[in-house]
Structure formats: C-alpha cells, structure tokens
Amino acid sequence: MTRLVSGLLLMTAAAVAADEWKMPDPARTVYLDLPDGRVVIELNPAFAPETVARFAELIGQGFYDGLPFYRVIDNFVAQGGDPAETREIEGGGRNLPAEFERDWNDDELVFVPAQAPDLFAPETGFIDGFPAARDPATGKVWLTHCYGTVAMARGNEPDSGTTDYYIVIGQAPRYLDRNLTVFGRVVTGMEHVQRIRRGPAKTNGVYEDPAKATDMVRIRLASEVPEDQRTVVRRVDTEDDSFKALLESRRDRQSEWFHHKPPEVLDVCQVPLGAEVLKSPANPHNAR
Amino acid sequence: MTRLVSGLLLMTAAAVAADEWKMPDPARTVYLDLPDGRVVIELNPAFAPETVARFAELIGQGFYDGLPFYRVIDNFVAQGGDPAETREIEGGGRNLPAEFERDWNDDELVFVPAQAPDLFAPETGFIDGFPAARDPATGKVWLTHCYGTVAMARGNEPDSGTTDYYIVIGQAPRYLDRNLTVFGRVVTGMEHVQRIRRGPAKTNGVYEDPAKATDMVRIRLASEVPEDQRTVVRRVDTEDDSFKALLESRRDRQSEWFHHKPPEVLDVCQVPLGAEVLKSPANPHNAR
C-alpha cells in the first residue's frame, strides 16, 4: 500500500477543470534553454514594463546566449548575466529604473486574496498568475519573491539594475520584496533550473572561474520562434473560480487525513500554480 | 561591477566564527548516496526516538539500498521507500507510532526564538540545529517542515508510517507540521537531492514504472562506516551567540542596500543553517 504525503492531492483534484487554464502571450513568454532542458518564463509588463522591455531587447540581441549562471546558492538563487560588463548593449544605456512596486488600479488589476495579514505584508494574493502583495494603507502593490520568481539584480542604488537577473530556487526570500524588480516567473521547467551547478560557498556562490559554471544555452522570446517550433504551455488562471476553490480547500483543510487541522492560513508562495506543457518541439535546442 | 542579490552576505559575515559550529554525532548521521553525490542527514532522536531507531535499523539491514525515489514533485517532496511492501523488515513489525510533537522540557531542550507569532504557530525557533515551533498554551513543541526536512510518510491513520520517507525540496509545506513525523534534516547535499528526477504530473509525481525513477545508491549510518572513510561535516550551532546575532541581523536589516526596510520578522524556514564538508573520502560510493 502506498503511503503518501497528502496535501497536493487536493491540488490535483481541483486543477482538472479546463476553464481554469490560461495560455501566456508568446510576446511575453521566454524560453530559457539550459543543458538539461527548456525553462518557460512568463514576463510581467504590468509590474515591470521597462525591465521587461529591456530583457526582451537583450534577448533579441542574443546578449545572454552562452553566459553562465555565475552565482548559484542552493535554496536561494541562480543568477546569470554579465557582471564583468564584457558585452555591449546595442543602443546603449545600462541602468534600469527601480520597478519595485506600483499603484493599485481597480480598472487594470484583479486581486485574488490569499492571506491577510501575511508575515511580510498586510495582504497577499494573486494577480494574473503571479503571487503578489499589497498594502491598502499606501495603495501600493508588488510581486512577491517566491519559488520560481525571476527578478533583476542590482547594486546599492535602487536604479542600478542592468542585465543580471536571478531565479529563486528555494524558500521564498520575502525580505527582498520591494527591494528588487520582479519581472517574471518560471511557469514550467524549474526541475531544469534546479540542476544548475551551485557555486562555491566560500565566495557566497560566485564562481571565480566562470568556465566551471552552468551555461545558459540560449534564450528566446516565444514570439520570435516559428509557431510550429514553440513549446506550448498553459498555466492556472488565478481568477477562475476553480482556483479560488483550490485556495479555500488549502486554507480550510477538510480531509480526514489531517490528524492536526492546520491553522486556516495560506503562504502565498506555497500555493501550487499548476502548469503543463501541451506541446514540445522534437528538439527544442535546435528550434529557432 | 558585480550586481548581487544582497541578503546572504550578512549570513556569510556572521558565519565565520569557529565556535558556532557543531559536529553531528556519527551515530545519528546518515549518508544517503545518490547517483550525483552524497547527502548528509542528521537524525533527531529527541523528537522522533522510535522513528529514528527504526530508520537506523532498516539502514543497517540494507533495506533501502537501491530503492527508487518513487514519488517526486518539484517544489514539494522527493519520496523513497518500499510502497509495494516488496521487502521484508527483519524482526517484523511495520507500523510506527506517530511522533508528531512532544512535551516541552526545560531540562532537555534549548529553544532559540525566531518568530512569535508565526503564520503557522504561536512561536518558532531552533532547537539543537533544527527549525521548530512550540505552543506555550499546550506546552507542546514540534519540528517544522522546512527545505531539507526528512520525515516519515503515512496513510490515513496517524500510526501508519512504515518505511517510506520524504525529503522536502521546495517551499516549506508548514501545513504538514504535526501531521507527520519529522525525524531528520539534510545538513549538506541538497543540490544532489535537487537532481532527483521529478515524477509525472498526471500521477501526482508517482512513477508508474519505478525503473524510470532515480535510485538511491546506498544509505549508511556514519557510525557504521570506518572513520577514515567518513564524510566529516559541521553545521551551525544554533545555541551559539553568533547564530543569535545572525537571527537579529536578518530580522532587523541595517544594510543600506535595503531600499525598503523589510518588516522585522523571520521565516524560520528561510534562515540559512550554515554547514560545510570538512573532509570527503576520495570516492564516497566505494567507502564502507
């Protein structure tokens, strides 16, 4: 008899309704090809318009191709980019503005609540497939640092991001919220990201010899790849009633499996955001 | 110029003091050898005496050797064991008692506080290197489900655990606290655990064909391995003043890097528990 860790069973049951799926727009979908497989990232221009534009521009220039993940810390982040500034940015201009938070706007955004208060914010929830938080007192809303979050690194100044980005690969570092520009989220392929080689602990994860680090093979915008060679994914529609029901079933656990009923709270970063690959090209690394 | 994600820099600075290290007792240290490398697990008999005794007994019998990780869900758990009950347990007896929580005892336990209240518990902190939580109202204390937690799976009944165990590989599933017996923690080698192949999503991570799953190569108690062939590790001493200073520096972020000062809270599962391998045998897979 199989003894299972319960918990995700409810997720599976709630995730079958076809109407809860959404197909990310190819113009805001990125294929990050790693040696082990393809990672699909959804960009978020509603929160980080300038960073998304720059990232897409750099991708189009082939700026990132072959650059290593030069700082990789288990249970924290895998960071790539061009820290030594060896590559030219076509069109010039390096520093990106801070896009750490934005104003709430009822006409534009739909907030599906998860938790209030959360440990790190007055309110957490989901906005168009992304974990988010907001503060009713200030009217500000921001994307949270969760597993799979893609964000832009920076120096000491808020507006000092350029090309270096990171993917969160462990326990949500929520203390970074509103301190860095979150501009995307890994939708599928985190298992490939997890195979990126960790850097030396003594240098805080930074490779002294970048040749030992894991290279990104290639990165492309889905919309720039011919349609028959795209990886087609769908992810949960966080505004759908079935997702709201999933949230409720995880907040208020009814299963008899729970010997000790958990407190009726939700960690916004622990809610599984279901996604699946519907169609893969035969060899994604050859597809252009 | 390197643009870093800040945050862990403070950890590194606070972790250099030699007196904050502790060497886990070899009799409660497990080597889990995966195809990709060695994982070192510290067992916790103070919280799960019967489960630890059984696990050590099974290890001594070679019970787990070569068994696959038959249920692996990214950002959740990697689960191994013998779900089909194909193997005999020498000495008989299958079901393990629930060791979900225990009584607080001032003479025996030292609690180093992290957060009160936490989202999932009245109080969280660390007990002898393990993330934990307690409830002053009931006098109960328990080990929390964090990244790297090792726990025993079970069926519907609390006392139905047998041989199947799991390792948490993603965002802390704290709602499982007090519902399963946490009996250990990965001290080093989580990057190897992360390379375990994920199971199919359609079967909730369970391999229909176990041959496709990642095998454990071998598992041994450190004390049963000749001393010159052991992997020597040390991990942070959570009772040391330098660790308490680390907690404080993470709760109250003083660095000017923080554009938006985070709320003064700690996620007990997001505090890095430093550890390092001091000595590795040339080929751990051959060491006995």
Give the mean model confidence (pLDDT) for residues A276-287: 76
CA angle, B93 then B98 then B103, to 5° = 135
Give the pLDDT confidence score for residue A233 in this predicted structure: 96
Which of B7, B77, B263 is nearest residue A120 as measured by Cβ atoms? Answer: B263
User: What residues of chain A lie within 8 A of the CB of B6, using their CB?
Assistant: 176, 179
- Cα separation, A2 vs B26, in Å, equals 31
- Cα separation, B168 vs A7, in Å, equals 13
Give the pLDDT confidence score for residue B84 in this predicted structure: 85
Instruction: Calculate how close chain B gets to A128, using CA atoms only, in Å.
Output: 21
Question: DSSP string covering A205-237, please?
Answer: TB-SSGGGSPBP-EEEEGGGS-GGGPPEEEEE-
CA angle, B92 then B94 then B96, to 5° = 130
| Nearest chain A alpha carbon to B257 | A156
pLDDT band with cut points at 50, 70 and 90 for residue A75: very high
Give the pLDDT confidence score for residue A203 in this predicted structure: 87
Give the pLDDT confidence score for residue B67 in this predicted structure: 92
Give the pLDDT confidence score for residue A19 in this predicted structure: 57
| Nearest chain A alpha carbon to B161 | A3
Chain B contact probe: residue of A12, A163, A171, A235 with most B CBs at under 10 A: A171
Give the pLDDT confidence score for residue A16 in this predicted structure: 43
| Nearest chain A alpha carbon to B181 | A5
Give the pLDDT confidence score for residue A144 in this predicted structure: 98
Give the mean model confidence (pLDDT) for residues A32-41: 95
| CA–CA distances in Å: residue B254 to residues B121, B262, B264, B288 | 27, 10, 11, 48
Asked if A3 lies within 8 A of B155 by C-beta distance, the reply is yes
pLDDT greater than 70 at residue A256: yes
Chain A contact probe: residue of B203, B260, B270 with most A CBs at under 10 A: B260
Q: Are A80 and A165 in contact (CB under 8 A)?
A: yes
Tokens of B132: 């934990």
User: What residues of chain B lie within 8 A of the CB of A169, using their CB?
Assistant: 194
| CA–CA distances in Å: residue A148 to residues A84, A151, A170, A275 | 25, 10, 8, 13
| Helical (H) or strand (E) element with B103 | strand B102-103
Which of A5, A153, A198 is nearest residue B153 as measured by Cβ atoms? Answer: A5
Give the pLDDT confidence score for residue A10 in this predicted structure: 34
Q: Are A272 and B171 in contact (CB under 8 A)?
A: no
- Cα separation, B75 vs B173, in Å, equals 9
Instruction: Calculate how close chain B gets to A12, using CA atoms only, in Å.
Output: 7
Q: What is the pTM of this model?
A: 0.94
* Residue B166 half-sphere exposure toward CB, CA atoms < 13 A: 31
Residue with tokens 């955001």: A273
Give the mean model confidence (pLDDT) for residues A15-27: 76
- Mean of all residue pLDDT scores within chain A: 90
| Nearest chain B alpha carbon to A252 | B175
Asked if A269 lies within 8 A of B171 by C-beta distance, the reply is yes
Tokens of B178: 């007090």
- Total residue count of chain A as it appears in this document: 288
Number of C-beta neighbours around residue B106 at 10 A: 7
In total, the C-beta contacts within 8 angstroms joining chain A to chain B are 201
- Cα separation, B284 vs B129, in Å, equals 25
- Cα separation, A189 vs A118, in Å, equals 28
pLDDT greater than 80 at residue A4: no
Which of B73, B178, B257 is nearest residue A156 as measured by Cβ atoms? Answer: B257
Looking at per-residue confidence, does A5 or A208 come out higher? A208
Asked if B156 lies within 8 A of A256 by C-beta distance, the reply is yes
User: What residues of chain A lie within 8 A of the CB of B81, using their CB?
Assistant: 3
Which amino acid would we find at residue B264? E
pLDDT greater than 90 at residue A268: yes
Asked if B175 lies within 8 A of A81 by C-beta distance, the reply is no
Asked if A178 lies within 8 A of B259 by C-beta distance, the reply is yes
Strand order in the sheet with A165-168: A69-72, A77-80, A165-168, A149-152, A181-188, A37-43, A29-34, A218-221
Which of A1, A177, A270 is nearest residue B172 as measured by Cβ atoms? Answer: A270
Which amino acid would we find at residue A157? E
User: What residues of chain A lie within 8 A of the CB of B175, using their CB?
Assistant: 7, 250, 253, 262, 270
ipTM for the predicted complex: 0.93
- Cα separation, B15 vs B9, in Å, equals 10
| Segments in chain B below pLDDT 50 | 1-2, 6-18, 287-288
Q: Are B114 and B247 in contact (CB under 8 A)?
A: yes
Over residues B236-264, the pLDDT tens digits come to 999 999 999 999 999 999 999 999 999 99
Asked if A8 lies within 8 A of B204 by C-beta distance, the reply is yes
